[in-house]
Amino acid sequence: MHTGVRTVWWSVGLSVVLAAAILVSATIGPVAIASDTVAKATLNAIAVPAGVSVTAEPASLFGASAPVPVLDVAYTYPVSLAVPTTAETIVRQVRLPRIVLAAVVGFSLAAAGAVMQGFFRNPMADPSIIGVSSGAAVGAVATIAFPLAVPFGLQTAAFVGALLAAFGVYAIASEGGRTPVATLLLAGVAVQALLGAAVSYMLLQTGQSLREAVYWLMGQLSGSSWAEVEVTLPLSLLAFAVVYVYARDLNVLLLGETDAHTLGIEVERTKRILLAVASVITAAAVSVAGVIGFVGLIVPHAMRLLVGPDHRILLPTSALAGAAFLVAADTFARAGPAEVPVGIVTAALGAPFFLYLLRDREVHAL
Amino acid sequence: MIDIDDLTVSRGGVTVFEDVSLTVAEEEFVALVGPNGAGKTTALQAINGVLTPDSGSVQVDGRPVADCSARERGRLVATVPQDTHVGFEFSVADIVAMGRTPHHTRVGRTDHEADHRAVRRALDRTATDRFADRPVDEVSGGERQRVLLARALAQDTPALLLDEPTASLDVNHQVETLSLVSDLTASGKAALAAIHDLDLAARFCDRIVLLADGRVLTSGPPADVLDTASLDAAFDADAAVTTHPTTGTPLVTALGERRDRDLTAHVVGTGRTATRVIARLHDAGATVTAGPLPDGDIAAETARARGLNAVAAPPFGPLDAAVRDSVATLRDRADVLVAADPPAADGVAALLDTSLPVVRVESDRGDADTRGLSTSSSSETTRATTPTDVLDAVATVTAGRELPADD
């Protein structure tokens, strides 16, 4: 089928771009490593899940300690090439976790952005539009300001905060089983403002750790480890698979809810599922990387110009382009003499591009 | 095919219609007409499941719509919406292909071949194939309306609902679109359309359902439904119903909203003079009855076109007893008798001999012909005048009875 063929070609092309971005990024850093060594070390790092086992680990929450079941995944490494140990360690343990996490976060934010823009029938919508990022910020800044003993610490708090905010906005905007999109949008704006106030107040209370909180709010990927990748990558892929199944429905929703209904779409249920999945995928990204703006807004918008509005091709291309874009942006962020939060780079690159789009094409619908 | 039984629907707490029943059979094209706010769109949305009725049932093809999943409903009923603005630039073919949505399952195989055939056929039949690759937001409003019709055809359903399908079309495309729907019903579909244009409804639909004030006022073949009395009741406006000279279907001319009448005038007359008198009085808001008017005379045609209660009689012959009786009845209900070049037939003079105030109208040309007029022109209650001044004269002789201002 026509669309299917285009989707495959675009996806393959963007995957190549993503792979290239990962390799190039892995060569950049304080220690110069030859590109062929980087390539070999990267291939060596490719892991294939081989088995899953459940173990109970003691975890403590608010002083109480209880065994928590943890999924243990065993990996096999199909490639094993000869690489100098130091180089391998730097690439595999320092650079790659951060690069791969950037890719996962970019993938998630761009996919969620594409869903939200289609959902709200508004090219200006972004993944945080219903308060996900603000909720995550409240959770994260709260753990920084008032250290709480939560398993996985800041990330868990941010994730829970994000979902609570999204669910709150949804609940406020819903009445009698219906959730009008316009109400959702406005409730999201109001809740974001409220949570913004909470974050500002807590920042005043952070004292010594203000810098840490501000860095988180600007979005940053430094200090990433494979553990974060292990949690976010499967979640992102799973969530993407779910929204991709709804790609056609998203297309039909663009015609308006009444039309979608007459075309056999269970409108309210579809909206709930899409909103929930887009919120989860955004929450996962934001909780590990902080508030990274513009990726979810700009990337789907740019891809729509290139591949058209059909979500069957827009979703995968946006996700892959978002991954490549964030890998590139994070490389800029850490390549300079002093590292800057990646959120600054995405906004610095994204905003001018967005203004260019605004000038270049008249935007009629808001 | 579409069976609505005792349906009550409310919107935002207000009951839009109550206990409405109607049926659209296979191979039938039914028009839903009525004034704005009569609930035409609401009725369509109760059938396609967008609205949930308070009570009553809707069945399509023998299946209660309320029990169907959205997908099943999408395979039973297709809806052509009024006009949809599509914000993102899908191609026309993409939009039409979306009509296949209810035939897809989320998992499992999709019959691409059937999809492709249905889409091609829909594009062909609606003549949208020549701009199938253009972005839908760049085609004209009329073309977009046909794209939406094509989408509904691709949906391949036994029942088709149309909400003002011709509202944004030029005359040619109006006729083409409704002919197409008519053809589709001939091949087995049941179609129900909310239509503003009564003439088009009369021309293309097998049956008309007249909705007003939340109920079905009347329903039946166009010629039966579109009469002055029902239109009057439904639209609260005067309308004249004549027969279209070419198509032979009813032709409705709206004459504007009816004003309060507190005066009834009975006109006896012929020719241009009577025509002008009838028009002036009627336009001024008076209830006008007339007779005898000679058959085929312009005055008789005017009275008929305006839907007035008028008695016509064969020209030149003597009035028979039945005509005399009905004219006398009308005359006695009136507040004023206006004689405007009355016919010279035997018996007319007797009808003019009445205790009512009389206005005698002569043509503006000045060759006053007062045949048969026996009343003395010096009387308090009689005035002679010209058609131009008839309103003043009527006002004078009926002093105390207000006639709306002549504007």
Which ipTM value was assigned to this complex? 0.79
Looking at the structure, do residues B248 and B273 belong to the same domain, yes or no?
no
- Residue B283, pLDDT score: 84
B149 chain-A contacts, CB cut-off 8 A: none
What is the structure's pLDDT at B407?
41
B275 and B392 together in one domain: yes
Residue ranges of A 174-233 with Cβ closer than 8 A to chain B: none
- Helices of type H across B217-286: 222-225, 228-235, 271-283
CA distance B103 to B110: 8
CATH number of the domain at B325, please: 3.40.50.450
Report percent pLDDT > 70 for chain A.
Answer: 92
Decide if B50 touches A, using CB distance below 8 A: yes
Instruction: Please name which of A2, A358, A151, A262 lies closest in space to residue B157, comparing C-alpha atoms.
Output: A262
In a domain, B223, yes or no: yes
Q: Would an 8 Å CB–CB cutoff place A43 in contact with chain B? A: no
Work out the end-to-end distance of chain A between its first and last CA atoms, rounded to an integer number of angstroms: 33
Same domain, B251 and B268: no
At which residue do the structure tokens 């005038």 appear? Answer: B265
Same domain, B271 and B208: no
Let me know whether B21 and B143 are in one domain.
yes
pLDDT at B367: 46
Tell me what pLDDT residue B375 has. 42
Report yes or no on B371 lying in a domain. Answer: yes
Residue B404, in any domain of the structure: no
Q: Do B81 and A258 touch (CB under 8 A)?
A: yes
Query: What does pTM read for this prediction?
Result: 0.74
Q: Does residue B74 sit within a domain? A: yes
- List strands edge to edge, sheet with B29-33: B77-80, B159-163, B190-194, B29-33, B207-212, B215-220
Note the pLDDT tens digit of each residue in A16-74.
999 999 999 988 888 888 888 888 888 888 888 887 877 766 665 555 566 666 777 88
B302/B220 same-domain check: no
pLDDT tens-digit map of A327-366: 999 999 988 888 888 988 998 888 887 788 777 765 544 3
Domain check: are B41 and B92 in the same one? yes
Amino acid identity, position A101? L
Residue type, B383: R
- Pairs across A and B, CB distance < 8 A: 78
B188 and B164 in contact (C-beta within 8 Å)?
A: no
Contacts with A251 from chain B: Cβ below 8 Å: 90, 94, 98
CB-closest option in A121, A249, A259 to B81: A259
What pLDDT is stored for residue A60 in this prediction?
57
CB neighbours of residue B182 within 10 Å: 15
pLDDT at A313 over 70: yes
Q: Which among B226, B255, B284 is the end of a domain?
A: B255
Quick one: B44 and B166 in the same domain?
Answer: yes
Interchain CB contact of A263 with B (< 8 Å): yes
| Domain termination residue (choose one: B220, B255, B290) | B255
Write the pLDDT tens digit of every residue in B173-198. 888 888 889 988 888 889 999 988 88
Which parts of chain B have pLDDT scores under 50?
366-379, 404-407
pLDDT at B378: 41
CATH of the domain at B201: 3.40.50.300
Query: What is the arrangement of strands in the sheet containing B358-361, beginning at the earlier edge strand?
Result: B309-313, B287-294, B264-269, B336-340, B358-361, B382-385
Contact flag B45-A258 (C-beta cutoff 8 Å): yes
User: Which among A1, A123, A266 is the nearest to B112, CB-wise?
Assistant: A1
**Does residue B406 lie in a domain region?**
no
- Residue B234 shares a structural domain with residue B285: no
State the total domains in chain B: 2
In percent, the amount of chain A with pLDDT more than 90 equals 34
pLDDT at A122 over 60: yes
The C-alpha atoms of residue A326 and residue A158 are separated, in whole angstroms, by 20
The reported pLDDT for the residue numbered A61 is 55
B237 & B177 share domain: yes
Residue B277 structure tokens: 């008198």
The answer to whether B44 contacts chain A (CB < 8 Å) is: no
Of A121, A248, A256, the CB nearest to B101: A248
Least confident of A8-12, A319-323, B164-168, B191-195: B164-168
Per the CB < 8 A criterion, the answer to whether A193 and A165 are in contact is no
Contacts B65 to A, Cβ<8 Å: none
Q: Which residues of A touch B70 (CB under 8 A)?
A: 261, 264-267
- Is residue B138 domain-resident? yes
Domain end position, chosen among B228, B255, B282: B255
Q: Name the residue among A254, A261, A308 with its Cβ closest to that of B87.
A: A254
* Residue-range definition of the domain harbouring residue B114: 2-255
Q: Which domains, ranges and CATH numbers included, belong to chain A?
A: 93-360 (1.10.3470.10)
Report, in this order, helix, strand and coil percent for chain B, each rounded to 5. 35, 25, 35
B76 and B184 both lie in a single domain:
yes
Q: Would you say the C-alpha torsion B311, B312, B315, B319 has a positive or negative sign?
A: negative
Q: Are residues B58 and B144 in the same domain?
A: yes
Q: Is B90 on the interface with A (CB under 8 A)?
A: yes
How far is residue B211's CA from residue A40's CA, in Å, rounded to a whole number?
A: 77
Tokens of B386: 């010209």
Is some CB atom of chain A closer than 8 A to the CB atom of B98? yes
Contact list in A for residue B95 (CB cut-off 8 A) is 255
Give the pLDDT confidence of B105-156 residue by residue, as tens digits. Answer: 776 667 788 888 999 999 998 888 898 888 888 888 778 888 889 999 999 9
A309 has pLDDT over 60 = yes
Contact between B125 and B180 under an 8 Å Cβ cutoff? The reply is yes
Q: In this structure, are strands B55-60 and B2-11 parallel, antiparallel, or unpaired?
A: antiparallel
CA distances from A54 to A68, A183, B295 (A): 10, 43, 100
How does pLDDT run across A165-224, given as a tens digit for each residue?
A: 999 999 998 887 788 888 888 899 999 999 999 999 998 888 788 888 888 888 888 878
Cβ atoms B339, B304 nearer than 8 A: no
Specify if B403 maps to a domain. no
> What's the pLDDT at A362?
56
Whether chain B has a CB inside 8 Å of the CB on A259: the answer is: yes
Any domain includes B136? yes
